[in-house]
A and B are shown apart, each in its own frame.
Chain A
Amino acid sequence: MSTFGLVWANLFRHRARTLLALFSIIAAFLLFGLLRAVAVAFDGGAAVAGVDRLIVSPKFSIIDGLPVSHQAQIESVPGVAAATHATWFGGTYQTPANFFVKYPVAPREFFDLHDEYIIDPAQLETFERIRTAAVAPEELAAEYGWQIGDRIPIEGDIWLRKDGSRLWEFELVGTYRVRDDENAFAAFLFHYDYFDEARIAQTEGIVSNFVVRVADPERAAEVSAQIDARFENSTNPTRTATEDEASRQFAAQIGDIGLIMNSILSAVFFTILLLTANTMAQALRERIPELAVLKTLGFSDHRVAALVLFESTLLCVLGGVIGIALAWLALGAIGPSLQALLGRIELTAATMLGALGIAVLLGIVVGLGPALSARRLQVVEALRR
């Protein structure tokens, strides 16, 4: 037997109680892994994309939209190398569960500006030529079993057609992939011109935002200010930001994601702290004569305290490791279906190390009180109990 064996045996002395505490810790760390992965995806959605790109959005709300005529004025701003637009389409493919992002775009401009999206030139040419054409990320096409030539029906929710119907139908003419080192949104793309002509008249000519490439990334802030100045007194003022900032602003319109996640996790860990502390305190109370026996045999006060602390830390680290492992498995299973909304969602090394740190800290905080009590235990008095 080793010291570890002694601690392990003590930990599972009351198997049911320990397992209940362990399950709570596992659940907390599972939640930690999942929420941190989502928060990281929100925080870093476009952080890895080109820093030479800016997003021009409506100044006050993403719902407002901007007139497509802004594009010509944006392109005339000194320092702007190129510009294109994208529009949030929404819509449902078969069932609401089949969620993926859909953008009507100007095909050539869009792919020119997003060089991380790689498409066969012949397919891009077809996409440009056929007005009802669409292209999809390779993973999305594989997920739904789409083949080139398939017709993809989408039921519109934001955008209705002039004839009053909600059904939009597109012909898949190609697929594209996102370069491996990128974490950009991969969207189902179709022709803006077809979309604009077919949608009801009141909404014609409105896009969600513009994507701008600046000639010199060092001058991005200056160009950004000039674009906003250009539209300051118009009926559609703009707010220009880097893609990174824009994704954060988008998330901020839903709410402060980081604050929400951290608030949930703080509440969860505080509850776990109380629960585990109670388990450890109870375990110590039951074991006072045994700790006294250990001291009688020659275990020093510090050594007995260390055994108690080791036990609580082992419990928390064990729960933490299992919880994070389950989060990793869960993200492997659900991550691909969330990718369309959040980009690549995964456990980062920082999240895993953070979890380990929290587990150790939790173990120490939870075990500190019982460990100090064990250290102070008087052998003669304790043996009388």
Chain B
Amino acid sequence: MAIVELKQVSRHFSKGRQTVEVLDGIDLTIAEGDFLALMGPSGSGKTTLLNLIGGLDQPSSGSVEVAGQQLVGLSSRKLAQWRSRNIGFIFQFYNLLPILSARRNVELPLLLTRLKRKQRRRNAEVALTIVGLADRAGHKPGELSGGQQQRVAIARAIVADPRILVCDEPTGDLDRDTADEILDLLELLNREHGKTIIMVTHDPKAASHAQRTLHLDKGSLVGETA
């Protein structure tokens, strides 16, 4: 069953009088439970495509249906609400709040739910346990290594139990061994917890963890490898 369905999606940006075509007529279907890698050179439109699927951006034309919701035309408030329920984001530079402990960072998405304070704390601790960082719950990001920070970011992405994880270069800032650990963790979340994962990467080794790899170039899908 398709969880992501893009039809004839284009995205262009205006710079003064000039129009830059970033995505051009993309058709894409991703089945629920897929682990998909998006590869391509810089400026090929990978992150823009990821932002459209994650509901952070709107296409200039075309249709974007994700998790049963047509995203085109949704108000920013509705989009925010939809993101909080369906998408977990993982960034290259972790994007944790430095003033909060690991547990509190993980708790953040739960502030948008109706869960009671104790339940929020318990769920955050469960998420940290899944990523193997239960013993670092009280540490602030500055007190953790890069790999540990990315694990906290993953715990934050899964704590509200979204169906899709959107990852933008999740291993781009990590050494090889740590990157492998993170990719193993993503594989685990895909295999054991049924999360659909869409990952932008430059690294062929990282892409090898995915079930499918799509190649983008100059705003168009140019191929797929399994």
- Which A residues lie at the B interface, using CB under 8 A? 1-3, 5-6, 9-10, 13, 289-290, 293-303, 379-380, 383
B118 CB → nearest A CB, Å? 11
Q: List 11 A-B contacts (CB under 8 A).
A: A6-B100, A9-B100, A290-B97, A296-B56, A296-B83, A297-B108, A298-B109, A299-B112, A300-B81, A301-B76, A380-B57
A301-B77, A379-B56 known; A1-B95 Cβ under 8 A: no
B151 contacts partner chain A, Cβ-Cβ < 8 Å: no
Q: Is the contact region of chain A dominated by helix, strand, or loop, or is it mixed?
A: helix
Candidates B97, B103, B121; contact of A293 at CB < 8 Å: B97
Q: How far, in angstroms, from A199 to B81 measured CA to CA in the complex?
A: 87
Q: Closest 9 CB pairs between A and B?
A: A298-B84, A300-B80, A1-B104, A293-B95, A298-B83, A9-B99, A300-B77, A297-B109, A13-B99
Residues of A within 8 A of B17 (CB): none
B34 at the interface (CB under 8 A from A): no
Q: Is the C-beta of B35 less than 8 angstroms from some C-beta in chain A? A: no
Query: A301 to chain B: which residues have CB within 8 Å?
Result: 76-77, 80
Work out how many contacts link A and B, with CB atoms closer than 8 A: 70
Distance of B63 from chain A, by nearest CB (Å) = 20
* Centre residue among B80, B89, B91, B97 by max chain A CB count within 10 A: B80
**How many chain B residues touch the partner (CB < 8 A)?**
29
Told that A289-B95, A293-B91, A295-B80 touch, could you supply 6 new A-B pairs with CB distance under 8 A?
A1-B117, A293-B95, A293-B97, A298-B85, A299-B84, A300-B77
Using an 8 Å CB-CB cutoff, how does the interface string of B97-131 with A read, 1 for contact, 0 for none?
A: 11110011001110110000100110000000000
Question: Distance in Å from the Cβ of A385 to the closest Cβ of chain B?
Answer: 11
Chain A residues, CB < 8 A from B76: 300-301
Return chain A residues, CB-CB under 8 Å to B117.
1-2
**Which of A5, A303, A383 has the most CB atoms of chain B within a 10 A radius of its CB?**
A383
Residues B89 and A296 in contact, CB atoms below 8 Å apart: yes
Q: Which residues of B contact A294 (CB under 8 A)?
A: 108
A286 to chain B, nearest CB (A): 11
Say yes or no: B109 contacts A302, CB within 8 Å: no
Taking CB atoms, residues of chain A closer than 8 Å to B178 are: none
A298-B85 Cα distance, complex, nearest whole Å:
8
| A10 and B98 alpha carbons, distance in the complex (Å) | 10
Which B residues are in CB contact (< 8 Å) with A302?
A: 77
**CB-CB under 8 A for A5 and B97, given A296-B56, A297-B83:** no
B85 cross-chain contacts in A, Cβ below 8 A: 298
Q: Is B51 an interface residue (CB 8 A)?
A: yes
Which residue, of A1, A6, A301, has the highest number of chain B Cβ atoms within 10 A? A1
Least distance between A188 CB and chain B CB atoms (Å) = 60
* Chain B min CB distance to A315 (Å): 15
Closest beta carbon of chain A to B71's beta carbon, Å: 14
Q: Would A6 and B95 count as touching, CB distance under 8 A?
A: no
Closest to A13 in B: B99
In the complex, the answer to whether B56 meets A380 with C-beta atoms within 8 Å is: yes
In the complex, which of the residues A1, A2, A300, A380 contacts B100, with contact meaning CB atoms closer than 8 Å? Answer: A1
Nearest chain A CB to B167 CB, angstrom units: 13
The winner among B81, B95, B104 for most chain A CB atoms within 10 A is B95
**Contacting residues of chain B (32-81) with chain A, CB-CB under 8 angstroms:** 51, 54, 56-57, 76-77, 80-81
